């Protein structure tokens, strides 16, 4: 069974930093592209970032480019999202999602909540 478990969400002040993690199991992690997607309270879905299986190809949404960094550790079956310069509008549930053909999200974690507030 494919399992994705996010962690690291927290309450952080504007301008602060946070690192999210996603532990993967039930599939050969290194062979799959991975993504981060978020959902602000009561809002729709917003894709944030993509990383290839090897980690050599990375894309970001304009809204987080230069502030967020995606990475992965295939030896640890883990995906990460380092977030800097957090803003109130970054408040959301953050999901990691496995990529089917890259940018189709066929499995999702349960999400981790990030709240940016003073």
Partner 1 sequence: EIVLTQSPGTLSLSPGERATLSCWASQGVRGSQLAWYQQKPGQAPRLLIYGASSRATGIPDRFSGSGSGTDFTLTISRLEPEDFAVYYCQQYGSSPLVTFGGGTTVEIK
Instruction: List residues binding partner 1 (CB under 8 A).
Output: 44-47, 50, 59, 61-62, 95, 100-111
CB of 76 to partner 1, least distance (A): 22
Tell me how far apart the alpha carbons of residues 93 and 84 are, in angstroms, rounded to a whole number.
16
Which of these, 110, 117, 26, 17, lies nearest to 67 by C-alpha position?
A: 17
Which of these, 83, 101, 100, lies nearest to 38 by C-alpha position?
A: 83
Tell me how far apart the alpha carbons of residues 95 and 17 are, in angstroms, rounded to a whole number.
17
CB of 30 to partner 1, least distance (A): 21
- What's the CA dihedral at 53, 7, 39, 118 to 10 degrees? -130
CB of 75 to partner 1, least distance (A): 26
Q: Which is nearer to partner 1, 78 or 105 (CB)?
A: 105
Q: Which is nearer to partner 1, 16 or 105 (CB)?
A: 105
Q: Which is nearer to partner 1, 5 or 30 (CB)?
A: 5
CB of 106 to partner 1, least distance (A): 5
């Amino acid at each position: 069974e494919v399992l994705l478990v996010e962690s690291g969400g927290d309450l952080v002040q504007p301008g602060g930093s946070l690192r999210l993690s996603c532990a993967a199991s039930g599939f050969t992690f290194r062979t799959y592209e991975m993504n981060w997607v978020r959902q602000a309270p009561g809002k729709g879905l917003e894709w944030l970032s993509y990383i290839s299986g090897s980690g050599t190809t990375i894309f970001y949404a304009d809204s987080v480019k230069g502030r967020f960094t995606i990475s992965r550790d295939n030896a640890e079956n883990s995906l990460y999202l380092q977030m800097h310069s957090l803003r109130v509008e970054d408040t959301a549930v953050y999901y990691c999602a496995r990529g089917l053909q890259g940018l189709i999200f066929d499995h999702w974690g349960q999400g981790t909540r990030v709240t940016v507030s003073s």
